A and B are shown apart, each in its own frame.
Chain A
Amino acid sequence: MLLMVESSIGYVDPGAGSMIVQLLIASCLGGIAFCRQRILAFFRRKKPGNEPDTRQNPSDGERR
């Protein structure tokens, strides 16, 4: 089911379910961080006195 890239990577059964859950957690949390960043940027833009073309900071939710 899981195809291995290198020979000695895969002698342990990773448990498909456990591995996928971790990837889901990573993508969910990454997605939440991205959405939160977008929402905060939206509200920053709406605040009176802000420049209308405020530069968005690059998302660093996953790369801290």
Chain B
Amino acid sequence: MANVDSRRHSASFRDPDSWILQWGGNRILRRVPRGLLGLLGQADVAAFLNREITVGRLVAGTRLSESDRESAGLESSDGGGFLVHPRLPFVTYPYEWSATMLADAARLTLDLQCGLLPLGVELKDATAFNILFNKGQPVFVDWGSFRKPFRSDGWYALGQFHRMFLYPVLLRAIRGWTPAQSFSGRLDGVPLATVVKELGPWLGLLSPSLWLDVVLPSWLEAYYHKKPNRGLKLSAGTQLSPDIQISNLKRIRRLVDRLEARFLHDSVWRDYAVDCHYDPVAEAAKQKSVQEFLTQAAPRSVIDLGCNSGNYSKIASEIGAKVIAADGDEGAIARLYAQLRRAPADIHPVVVNLANPSPSAGWCNRECSAFLERGVADCALALALVHHLRVSSNWPIDHIVDFLGMLGGQHLIAEFVPRDDPMFQAITRLRDEDYADWTLEAWKTSLQRSFMLVREVKLPSSPRTLGLWRRR
């Protein structure tokens, strides 16, 4: 039998007791310790987890059967076992979420911890990377995080929860930092010192709701740092009732709600008016043409580049494709996510700057995959996009076409926005260049290097042209 360690996925290393094995196809295989298998055997724990799976907040997990285990050649030392999970359609990382998505993920983590504690289970860690999104809601995926509580009166992972969830949400509320900024350069969230520095000396003291989660911890850490020889031994203690911890976590949950309310209004609703500047006749014709093009191309998956509020993502989803909705504006993704929460669909919102997409990250830059590796689809939608890439990002036409070719598979639906378009003129107003190379002919010539024009529509009441292209 093959040693299970040799099949361990190199990026799944943080937990010494639970890890992902090399996977293929539609399933994820996770090695778990014997203690976890015992917990899953408890009827009340299994019932709780099944309820969470049913409402879609927890990824499904079943024990790998003996026959499958033997045929896969897997053997686990010291009584551990294997769980099988379905692979979720699209992976996103916390730095690609809107702050509203992060707040939802925070609430899910707290709800799971509060629900598990009375059953004698807790979450071993509180990292935002334990959560993926599917059908417009957060999904907890790390079954390896379940264990018997270390202590009942305090959650060992609360410090990590602060760094990964509470502080980024707080910084979004008071400083407007998007999660991309909070996780910039580090995967473990915002450290306490950064939050203290941003709050400044007065804002912390004047906000009682932050005393227990920011001010007091920072005083205590400063005190203990001054006494390097003073060790603090924490022993396991599970004989106390977890009610106090649950009350504290519910208090933190209400704090997350209040902080989110402070930025929900401006990020979700205030900027909505910016969307509605297009001529209604042209817009209606464009939607009809995009729908026809998508029906003709019949892709299984679509990536909507610069999706904004997601109107075209919804059209793509209605023809039955899985849709990746990418936009660099965190507020636009927050708007789209808010709609998905109300009306779930197979649309996956992601905040990504297309001119600088998320690189691979973490250990040896192999722990988190780059966006360009994940964001591939049968068909790419480049609507109201390419003129931004030409003007704001200064990409030559060939570079734009090569980029679009990298993301879409078989088909590409692209809208060409010429120089006499009002939006083009608006973004070039202060620029000292005539963009003489930016013509429809040059655009089509460049595309014809790798694509073949299938259909073309000149939009009414607008100088724009819509094209359906198929890769040669």
Contacts and interface: CB of A to CB of B under 8 A. Distances in A.
Contact of A26 (B14, B218, B235, B240): B240
Contacts of B126: 12
B124 to A, nearest CB: 7
Nearest to B249: A22
Given A5-B235, A26-B153, A30-B244, A14 B158 contact: yes
Contact of B160 (A3, A12, A23, A26): A12
B340 to A, nearest CB: 31
A21 B212 CA distance: 7
B154 interface: yes
A7 B218 contact: no
A25 B244 contact: yes
A16 B160 contact: no
B160 A2 contact: no
A18 B217 contact: yes
B240 A11 contact: no
Contacts of A8: 15-17
Given A8-B15, A15-B163, A26-B240, A2 B234 contact: yes
A45 B125 CA distance: 48
Contacts of B192: 15, 17
Contacts of B150: 9
B248 interface: yes
Contacts of B188: 13
A44 to B, nearest CB: 25
B252 to A, nearest CB: 11
Contacts of A6: 236
Contacts of B218: 17
Nearest to A25: B248
A36 B264 CA distance: 41
B220 A3 contact: no
B157 interface: yes
Contacts of A18: 158-159, 162, 213, 217
A47 interface: no
Given A2-B234, A12-B125, A15-B192, A22 B155 contact: yes
A1 B155 CA distance: 17
Nearest to B191: A15
A17 B232 contact: no
B217 A17 contact: yes
A1 B241 contact: no
B291 interface: no
Contacts of B197: none
A55 interface: no
Interface in B230-284: 231-236, 240-241, 243-245, 248
Nearest to B248: A25
B195 to A, nearest CB: 11
Interface string B173-197: 0000000000000001000100000
Interface in B315-365: none
B250 to A, nearest CB: 13
B48 interface: no
Contacts of A21: 212-213, 216-217, 220
A48 to B, nearest CB: 36
Interface of A: 1-9, 11-26, 29-30, 62-64
Given A2-B234, A22-B153, 6 more contacts: A11-B15, A12-B125, A18-B162, A19-B159, A26-B154, A26-B244
Interface of B: 14-17, 124-127, 150, 153-160, 162-163, 188, 192, 212-213, 216-221, 224, 231-236, 240-241, 243-245, 248
12 contacts: A3-B233, A3-B234, A7-B16, A12-B124, A14-B156, A16-B159, A17-B218, A21-B216, A21-B217, A25-B244, A29-B244, A62-B244
